[in-house]
Amino acid sequence: MSDATIFALASAAGRAGIAVIRLSGGRSKSALERLGCSLPPPRKAVRAKFIDPTTSDLLDEGLLIWFPAPHSFTGEDVAELHVHGGRAVVESMLDALSSCPGLRPAEPGEFTRRAFANDKMDLTQAEALADLVDAETRVQQKQALRQMGGALREIYDDWRHRLIQALAHLEAVIDFPDEDLPPHVADKVWGQVGDLERAIADHIDDGKSGERIRQGLRVAILGPPNAGKSSLLNHLARREAAIVSAVPGTTRDVIEVHMDLGGYAVTLADTAGLRDAGDTIESEGIRRAHARAAEADLKIVIFDGARYPALDALSAAMIDGDTLPVINKADLLLIAGESISEKFPGGLHFMSVKTGAGLEEFVARLEKMIAGKADTGAAAPLTRARHRRGLEECAEALSRARTATLPELAAEDLRLAARALGRLTGRVDVEEILDVVFRDFCIGK
């Protein structure tokens, strides 16, 4: 596979000012010559005319950058062709490259896969690169950049290194029981293993903050019918995503909107009003609302201010520590709002989606709760279920090792633990995980 020279459009498909086409592999040089370009000095952008090798027609005039191996993204010879981003230009350029011997279009993620194969990055950095390209909010961007800089790799490599040292010491005890080994070697090994177990437990116990940032937090809007749930969703989404009407029971299904709240990616779900519904469709909607509440990271429970101080019991029962309780329609309040609000730990928030009163404070409080959920302050949080599984596997092997009846069995468990860590960065057992990691990449990356 890595014999072929690959090429792809690296910028997004469609009409654009500039399009970037990237080549990687040993035949990049000859391909450029076939396009009528002479090889520019390394890493300098030069103007170039790109000529159709079969017809000798001019395809475009643009820029060419040459990155000779090994100082390139993939570690191979790489060329970047910056052309005008018109469909005809890009298509004719790609056709011309297809006609070059030894060249073929890249598979999704193939550039990054080659970079990994040539030790330009480990698997966590390759994953972070995919995350950076997918990042939609500032916090996602920041997290991806940190991981791309090697934040997770450094931690996992350090742990693996320490584990391999402990294993070497244990093997010395096994292999040379009668030799003059310094005393307490075995104690030292178990001390190191214990330290590592604690470090891994702390790292895993992060409230899934990294995964939440990467995938987005789930926030559910719940409450009795007609309280203004859909109105709030529309306000936050800045569009008419859900139908709003004065008829209680308007929303039947879950309506989801993805948005950026305070730099965090959030999936906000509007749900059917909670009540004892007679109609089967509405009951199904209410069942879905409960399901959504159960899987939400945060809940907004919103009550109808026109009924205040009565608070609907079904909805009040949904309030827990991860809830922002709200009285909407503050413009219709019959009595002063604060009297019963102290019953709720964080206080009830009074607002009116209609008049806008209290909405800014509401958004600020919501953003603060989101930040509190997503950002646990860990310098380098794990960002994928793959990392979590690998670390759990490692921790299990470590705890087995500690209770093993024979040192030989303990050593085998330490080896398994080190392998689980090695798989995280791609140091070991690579083939079986590569397809999983690179499956989510798009072409040109």
Ligand X SMILES: Nc1nc2c(ncn2[C@@H]2O[C@H](COP(=O)(O)OP(=O)(O)OP(=O)(O)O)[C@@H](O)[C@H]2O)c(=O)[nH]1
Number of amino acids touching ligand X (CB under 6 A): 24
For ligand X, which stretch binds (CB under 6 A), given 6-14, 206-214, 225-233, 413-421? Answer: 225-233
Site for Mg ion contains 137 (CB under 5 A): no
Q: Binding residue for ligand X (CB under 6 A) from 155, 244, 326, 398?
A: 244
- Three-point CA angle 294, 298, 302, nearest 5°: 90
Least CB distance to Mg ion at residue 277 (A): 13
State the nearest-atom distance from the C-beta of 306 to ligand X, in Å. 7
Nearest alpha carbon to residue 213 among 124, 139, 269: 139
**DSSP bridge pairs for 15:** none
Least distance CB 312 / Mg ion (angstroms):
15
Q: How many CB atoms lie within 10 A of CB 415?
A: 17
Of the candidates 11, 143, 251, 315, which one interacts with Mg ion according to CB under 5 A?
Answer: 251
| C-beta of 171 vs 253, nearer to ligand X | 253
- For the CB of residue 254, give the shortest distance to Mg ion in the complex, in Å: 11
Contact present, 103 and 94 (Cβ < 8 Å): no
User: In angstroms, what is the C-alpha Rg of the chain?
Assistant: 29
Spatial distance between the Cα atoms of 375 and 159, rounded to a whole number of angstroms: 24
Strand partners, 326: 302, 349
Q: How far is Cα 146 from Cα 157, in angstroms, rounded to an integer?
A: 16
Which of these ranges, 167-175, 202-210, 227-235, 287-295, lies near ligand X under the rule CB under 6 A? 227-235
Q: Are 104 and 31 in contact (CB under 8 A)?
A: no
Q: Which of 98, 99, 245, 339 binds ligand X (CB under 6 A)?
A: 245
Residue 130 or 351 with smaller CB distance to ligand X? 351
Residue 360 CA to its chain's centroid (Å):
29
Quick check: 332 binds ligand X (CB under 6 A)?
yes
Q: Could you tell me the smallest distance in angstroms from the CB atom of residue 271 to ligand X?
A: 8
> What sign does the dihedral 170-175-178-182 (CA atoms) show?
negative
353-392 footprint of ligand X as x/- string (CB under 6 A): xx--------------------------------------
Q: Which of 161, 32, 37 is nearest to 422 (CA)?
A: 161
Sign of the CA dihedral 333, 334, 340, 342? Answer: positive
Per CB under 6 A, the list member of 229, 299, 384, 423 interacting with ligand X is 229
Tokens 């993939």 label which residue? Answer: 74
Which of ligand X, Mg ion, none does residue 231 bind to, with CB < 5 to 8 Å depending on kind?
ligand X
Is residue 301 close enough to count as binding ligand X by CB under 6 A? Answer: no
- Report the site for Mg ion in 210-239 (rule: CB under 5 A): 229-230
Cis peptide before 224 (omega within 30 of 0): no
Residues that bind Mg ion (CB under 5 A): 229-230, 250-251
Residues that bind ligand X (CB under 6 A): 223, 225-231, 244-246, 248-251, 272-273, 328-329, 331-332, 352-354
